[in-house]
Amino acid sequence: MLRKRTAGQETAENVTSEPSKNAARHSDERAASESRSQTSCWSTVSLIGKILLLIIFVPPFLNYTSLKREGELLSPKGGQYIDIGLGQSIHMICKGQGQPVVILDAPTGVSSDIWFHVQESVSEMTKVCTYDRVGLGFSRRAMQNETTGMEKVWKMSTTGRMVDDLHRLIKAAGIATPFILVGSELGSLNGRFYSHIHDTQVSDLVLIDPIPEEVFEEGQWQQYWYTQLVPSLQLKQLSAATGLSRLLIILGVMRPAMQGENISEDLLQRQKYLLSNPAHQSSAVDEHFFLNESASQVREISIFKPLSSKTSVSVIRGDTFDEELPAHLNQVVAKLQKKCLEQSYPNADHIHIRGVDRRMIYKNPSLVSKHLLELVSRRQSKRQSQ
Ligand SMILES: *[C@@H]1O[C@H](CO)[C@@H](O)[C@H](O)[C@H]1NC(C)=O
Ligand SMILES: *[C@@H]1O[C@H](CO)[C@@H](O)[C@H](O)[C@H]1NC(C)=O
Ligand SMILES: *[C@@H]1O[C@H](CO)[C@@H](O)[C@H](O)[C@H]1NC(C)=O
C-alpha cells in the first residue's frame, strides 16, 4: 500500500516540473485523490479478503475442534466398542437381559440412536442390541489396512460388506443365537442378506418398510435417487465439512430428525453432533449411493440361497405415504414392495400400522415395539414349552 502511494507522488512531482503551478497543483490533487481512492479501494479489497478467509477457515476449524470435544462428551451411555478383528471396532449398545436377543439394524445413513425408544421398551422383556454401521455414528470408518478384503467381493458401503461386519460383531460380542433380526430400509436389506446366508442364527426376521430390490430398475426412481436425493445429501456433507451445518443448527434452520418431549437432551445434542460431522455424513452419502448395489446383491442372494423355512418373517408397514417423496414414486415403491414380498416371502406375517409412514421407528416407537414384544413373548413361551 505504501509503495503505491509514493509511486503516485513521484508521477505527480514529474508533472509539476514543466507547466503552470496551478495545473500542477490540480494534477497533484487529482493524483493524490486517485491514490487515496486506490488505497481505500485496496484496503476494502483486503478487508473483504480477510473476512472471506475468516468465513472460509474459521467455521470449519471451530467445527472441527468442537466435534473432537463433543465426540468424547456425547458418546452414548452403556455403549461399548467391540473389536471385530483387524483393528476395526464397532460401537454397540445392548440393554436388558434374556433371550431371544433382538438385534436392531438402522435405516439408510442413520446411527443406532434412531432405535432409542424401541430399544428402551423391548429391553424390559429381553436383551436388545443396536450398533452403528462402520463409518456412521460412533463407529469410525475402516482404514485401508483394516479390511478383510470383503469389499473386493462386495464393494464398500454395500449390504454384503455390512453383513460381514455384523457377522463378526455378533461373534465377537458373544450374542446368543438364534436371535431376532430387525431391519428398516437398508437395515432390512442387511437383515435379509444375513438371514439367507446365516440361516441357523436368525429365528425371526422382521422387516420394517423394506426396500423392494427392483425399485432401482425403475427409471423414475433412479432419476429421483441420483439426481435429487444423493446430491442433496452430498450438499449436506459439504455443509457439515465447512461448518455451515453447525451455524444453521445454531440459527435453528437445520433441525435434528428426532425432536419433541420424549427426546432427551443427550439424544438431541448427539443428533446435532452427527449433523455437523462430515465423516458421518460422508458415510451416509455412500450408503445411499450404493443402495442400488445393495439391492442387487440381495436379489441375487434371494435367488441362490432361499430363506430357511425355520426362519419366520414379519413385515411391518405403515399405510401413510412418505411426504418427502413425490406421490407417484410412493406408488411405485408400494407396488414393488408388495410384489417383492409375495415372491420372496409368501408366508410372511404382515402387520399394517395405521397412520404411520417409514419414520415410525422414531415417530411412533410404541406401535413398533408392541409387535416386537409380541414376537419375543411368543418365542419365549415356545421355548418354555419345549
Ligand atoms: C493401520 O494403519 C494405521 C496408521 O496408518 C495404524 O495406526 C494402525 O495400527 C494400522 N492397523 C493395523 C491393523 O495394522
Ligand atoms: C412420550 O412418552 C409417553 C410415555 O412413554 C407417551 O405416553 C407419549 O405418547 C410420548 N409422546 C410422544 C410425542 O411420543
Ligand atoms: C448403481 O448406480 C451407479 C450410478 O448410477 C451405476 O454406475 C451402477 O452400475 C449401478 N449398479 C447397479 C448394480 O445397478
**What is the full DSSP assignment across 9-40?**
HHHHHHHHTSS-HHHHHHHHHHHHHHHHHHHH
Do residues 155 and 290 share a domain?
yes
Of the candidates 71, 95, 112, which is a domain's last residue? 71
296 lines ligand 3 (CB under 6 A): yes
Non-local (6+) Cβ contacts of 252 within 8 A are: none
Positive or negative, the CA dihedral 104, 110, 112, 115 is negative
> What spacing in Å lies between the alpha carbon of 108 and ligand 3's midpoint?
17
Do residues 96 and 11 share a domain?
no
Q: What angle do CA 239, 242, 244 make, to 5 degrees?
A: 55
pLDDT value of position 13? 43
Q: How confident is the model at residue 62 (pLDDT cuts 50, 70, 90)?
A: confident
pLDDT value of position 17? 45
Q: How confident is the model at residue 22 (pLDDT cuts 50, 70, 90)?
A: low
Q: What is the CATH number of the domain that holds 140?
A: 3.40.50.1820
For cell 441420483, what's the residue?
Answer: 226
Q: Whose CA is nearest to atom 6 of ligand 1?
A: 145
262 lines ligand 2 (CB under 6 A): yes
Q: Which atom of ligand 2 is nearest to the CA of 261?
A: 13
Do residues 189 and 232 share a domain?
yes
Percent of the chain residues past pLDDT 90, beyond the cut? 65
Do residues 156 and 262 share a domain?
yes
pLDDT surpasses 80 at 250: yes
Of the candidates 18, 48, 71, which is a domain's last residue? 71
Which of 293, 294, 298, 300 best tests ligand 3's pocket when mutated (most atoms within 8 Å of CB)?
A: 293
Say which residue, 21 or 123, is predicted with more confidence: 123
Eight-state DSSP code of residue 94: E
Do residues 23 and 57 share a domain?
yes
> What spacing in Å lies between the alpha carbon of 208 and ligand 2's midpoint?
21
Do residues 204 and 223 share a domain?
yes
Do residues 83 and 61 share a domain?
no
18 lines ligand 2 (CB under 6 A): no
Do residues 52 and 163 share a domain?
no
Q: How confident is the model at residue 141 (pLDDT cuts 50, 70, 90)?
A: confident
The domain in which residue 372 lies consists of: 79-385
pLDDT surpasses 80 at 154: no
Q: What is the pLDDT of residues 324-342, one digit of tens each?
A: 888 899 999 999 999 999 9
pLDDT surpasses 70 at 50: yes
CA distances from 177 to 105, 174, 197, 230 (A): 16, 9, 14, 37
Q: What is the pLDDT of residues 74-94, one digit of tens each?
A: 988 899 999 998 888 999 999
The total of structural domains in the chain comes to 2
Do residues 65 and 85 share a domain?
no
pLDDT value of position 34? 64
Do residues 224 and 133 share a domain?
yes
264 lines ligand 2 (CB under 6 A): no
Q: Residue 350's beta-bridge partner residues?
A: 315
Do residues 259 and 120 share a domain?
yes
Of the candidates 46, 71, 96, which is a domain's last residue? 71
Q: Span 262-288, mean pLDDT?
A: 94
> What spacing in Å lies between the alpha carbon of 175 and ligand 1's midpoint?
27
293 lines ligand 3 (CB under 6 A): yes
Do residues 137 and 285 share a domain?
yes
87 lines ligand 1 (CB under 6 A): yes
